[in-house]
Amino acid sequence: MTMMTQAVNRQLPGDADWWRGAVIYQIYPRSFQDTNGDGIGDLTGITRRLDYVAGLGVDAIWISPFFTSPMKDFGYDVSDYRDVDPMFGTLADFDALVTRAHELGLRVMIDLVLSHTSDQHPWFQESRTGRKGEKADWYVWADPRPDGTVPNNWLSVFGGSAWAWHGGRMQYYLHNFLSSQPDLNFHNPDVQAALLDVARFWLERGVDGFRLDTINFYFHDRLLRDNPALPAEARNDSIAPLVNPYNWQDHLYSKNQPENIEFLKKFRRLMDSYGAAAVGEVGDAQRGLEIMGEYTSGNDRMQMCYSFDFLARERLRAADVAAIFARLEETVPDAWPCWAYSNHDMPRHISRWQLSDEAAKTYLTLLMCLRGSVCLYQGEELGLSEADIGFDDLQDPYGKEFWPEFKGRDGCRTPMVWQRDNGTGGFTSGKPWLPVPADHLARAVDAAEGAEDGLLQHYRKMLAFRRAHPVLAKGAQSAMRAEGDVLCFERSHEGQRLFVAVNLSAQAATVNVRGAVDLGPWGAAILVGE
């Protein structure tokens, strides 16, 4: 049951283009701070730690889902869009969080999961009752083939067919993820209107924007055409692990449909009326960069999107970054990307790329100098590694499905560590929902505070540098030049120019940037020009 409290309209005032070049800190609420001893983080815990987040120098926070949910996919299966799950607190707790964030100058973005709901959502409960009724067409239902098999060959990101049988309707329903996450039918205008009302509800409560989950999954092909096969050489594991046959299809018809653009325009008009902004997650292994560009072109779609190019399994090298920006410039030059190395779905980049602290500093320096906005994931500023979670402690259904070849997403979701001399890192007084790795304790916040040349202080310094130089947030960017492992480019804005050279290797190098510049291992140079 949704408990209503007094709604407020109090977005943080200021620059309407605040999102352009913003640095956004992602908080995974289950793992940030527990205040009631149940081993699960909560909204009050986030509020308690906001001073730390503001002290990093970020512009906004993105909070992963905290809505009412059966938690089959840890909040990405919503059963009530307008309430807080009791494990996280109440709407009053959320209002207090927004108030405190705004007092600290932080904008608040929340994670909206619009492509699907939980099968326990009242909408689906009504839709499943029969083929007639107000919400009969709110989800994607389809008749079986004459032999009773599924309507087409579409596959689920989480494994197996994307179709589940429902005997009550004698039809299949579409689920791009778990079978308990039925897909909404965006071809129905009533569904679109209902979801826009959900966004309006949270805008009225004072949120400054949204992270939009799986933004390219909203619409499906009306004709339910089969996806074509994808050549083996084109497969990669940026969206799903290679052991998942989802990678064997070119998903032309199960997502990325052209009708999505008009819905995004509606969503943008709503946000503009509140001065809000959104960053969309584009989940596509073949055309992610181009879709990101398409969804952010002009001023009437999404403000920002991110693709999975910087979430790559292999370490990004200078030539890789230069090629990504060259593709972006060639296809959609006015697109606005949001870059991230880590998030709640991917192994932490410290481990993926086997980075030392010095290397991690250099990659952060690069990130702070790029055209676009930035998402940081909680704990990366401490250099937290990917945790090795045993099967008995595993929570993620994705990992359980493909174990042991793929161990799921729990390794990047372990609790934030605040205190080194505490078995749970100061996260909880109870048993944490995921174990706290022993090697994380040495990197706890109180330990990092005392390291003047440590990674945490480097994050603060580079965030302060970016804020002090608007050219890095809003400026144009020249074509990139990769000389071996060194990446060179320029940023310019309102008469100011910065020349950037970043050495993405452990070998010293010399490059020509307004003269010869010597770069040590993992060295970087930022030169001010006119």
Q: For tokens 């999107």, name the residue.
A: 305
The residue from 42, 85, 183, 281 that is catalytic is: 281
Tell me, what DSSP letter sits at residue 337? B
CA distance 390 to 56: 33
Q: Is residue 291 a contact partner of residue 256, using CB atoms and an 8 Å limit?
A: yes
CA distance 29 to 241: 25
DSSP 65-106: --EE---TTTTSS-SEEEEE-TTT--HHHHHHHHHHHHHTT-
CA distance 64 to 76: 9
Residue 1: both structure tokens together? 């049951």
450-475: buried (b, 16+ CB within 10 Å) or exposed (e) per residue? eeeebbbbbbeebbeebbebebbbeb
> What is the distance between the terminal CA atoms of the chain, rounded to a whole angstrom?
60
197 catalytic residue (yes or no): no
3-state secondary structure of 497: strand
Angle at 291 between CA 222 and CA 215, to 5 degrees: 65
SS (H, E, C) 227-276: CCECCHHHCCCCCCCCCCHHHHECCCCCCCCCCHHHHHHHHHHHHHCCCC
For the four alpha carbons of 335, 341, 344 and 346, in that order, the dihedral sign comes to positive
The residue from 42, 83, 213, 290 that is catalytic is: 213
For the four alpha carbons of 461, 467, 469 and 471, in that order, the dihedral sign comes to positive
DSSP 155-214: B-TTSSBSEEEETTTTEEEE-SS-TTSPBB-TTSHHHHHHHHHHHHHHHHTT--EEEETT
Amino acid type, 374: V
Tell me, what DSSP letter sits at residue 56? H
205-232: buried (b, 16+ CB within 10 Å) or exposed (e) per residue? bbbbbbbbbbbbbbbbbeebeebeebee
213 catalytic residue (yes or no): yes
CA distance 266 to 174: 24
3-state secondary structure of 353: coil
Q: Is residue 268 a contact partner of residue 293, using CB atoms and an 8 Å limit?
A: no
Residues whose CB falls within 8 Å of the CB of residue 516, separated by 6 or more in sequence, listed in order: 510
> Which residues are catalytically annotated?
213, 281
